[in-house]
Structure 1
Amino acid sequence: MTETGSLEERLRVVEDRLAIYTVLAAHPMSADLGERAFVESIYTPDFVFDRGAGLHGAGSRDEMVDLVENDAHRAAIAGGLAHFASLPLVELDGDAAVATSYLAFLTPDPQGDERELPNHGRSTGFRIHRVVANRWTLVREAGRWTVTSRTVLPMDGSGPALEMLRRTAGYFADR
């Protein structure tokens, strides 16, 4: 896919994509640390987090902070939770953007067989707890990109996650 326009316009697209990649790359660490300032730097005050059926989301940035600061999330962090994200596909539209990516939740596997990896020590390994598709909406305000909403749906072969991915595929097919 090639972008058209002047050199300045194309450079702006590159800068916007890099800024969005940086914001989204910060998410796994913000979730794995659960630190208020880190979380607040990524999301708008009116941020909405939809985790799909069966999981509590958030209806504001403050609720998102509460979600990562609660006892259950702190227990997951203490248990070795690691969010492992893919590079997102980014759809730019001026000062708005949508990004679609995958996220895997990894946890240490204390019941796994201990193995040695040369030059990296011994480990019982990790297990993939869950893999989700993410759809992020972002806005540029005051020169910086922040997340206004996020939907995560499990990659379990069901329709909702696949439909969300099809919306992204349609955007890129039309270009």
Structure 2
Amino acid sequence: MANADEKLAALERRLAELEDRMAILQLIASYGPAVDGLDREGVAALWAEDGSYDFSGTPLQGRDKVADLIDLDTHRAYVSAGSSHILSLPRVTVEGDRAVAVNYSQVFVKDGASWRADRTSANRWDLARTADGWRVTKRTNRLLDGSPGARDLLQRS
């Protein structure tokens, strides 16, 4: 039978893992409100200094370039019409100071009296623990349009 010190150490490990997972969930949940609110600083705060975001085009490299996505014409059109970036609860794997989270995202856009889903994507978030907490080192987003890119993204995670 484990002694009190061993039990305490095991509980501390479990608590630390739960705290890591919760921090990652909070980080990912912050993305939608930040981009829909045109919060450049909020978007930038999610990424590591050298982090990237690849959404089927030329990847945005570096925290500031990722934050600049709120100024893209397509993004501004979404926000002007009324938009909502909805992210599913991710599957999170933590290994030391690295983590991977996989989820789905949908972008809803106001269309007259109703809303329509304009984009539905698979996402892989690569994260690292930094001095400032967990940050995104790379986000890969692929449209769920029947092409193998999104399926591959989901399968390799």
Summarize deviations over 1:4-48 as a string: whole Å, max 9, x none.
x81111111111000000000000111111222111211111111
2:122 corresponds to: 133
Question: Which residue of 139, 146, 158 corresponds with 2:147?
Answer: 158
Unaligned runs of 5+ in 1: 111-123, 169-175
Distance 1:143 1:65, change over 3 A: closer
Query: Aligned to 1:45, what secondary structure does the other structure show?
Result: strand
CA contact (8 A) 1:47 1:149 kept: yes
2:4 corresponds to: none
Summarize deviations over 1:43-102 as a string: whole Å, max 9, x none.
1111111111xx343111111122213444223211112101100000101111000000
User: TM-score by structure 1 length?
Assistant: 0.80
Cα root mean square deviation, aligned: 1.5
Q: How does 1:16-35 map to 2 (within 5 A)?
A: 16-35=20-39
Over the matched positions of the two proteins, sequence identity in percent amounts to 38
The one-letter amino acid paired with 1:126 is W
CA displacement at 1:166 relative to structure 2: 1.1
* Distance (whole Å) between structure 1 residues aligned to residue 51 and residue 70 of structure 2: 14
**Greater CA drift, 143-152 or 87-96:** 143-152
* Distance (whole Å) between structure 1 residues aligned to residue 149 and residue 110 of structure 2: 29
* Distance (whole Å) between structure 2 residues aligned to residue 70 and residue 35 of structure 1: 13
User: TM-score by structure 2 length?
Assistant: 0.89
Unaligned runs of 5+ in 2: 1-8
1:144 corresponds to: 133
1:105 corresponds to: 107
* Distance (whole Å) between structure 2 residues aligned to residue 65 and residue 165 of structure 1: 25
CA contact (8 A) 1:35 1:69 kept: no
Summarize deviations over 1:125-151 as a string: whole Å, max 9, x none.
210111000000111111511111100
CA contact (8 A) 2:123 2:142 kept: yes
The one-letter amino acid paired with 1:154 is L
The one-letter amino acid paired with 2:70 is V
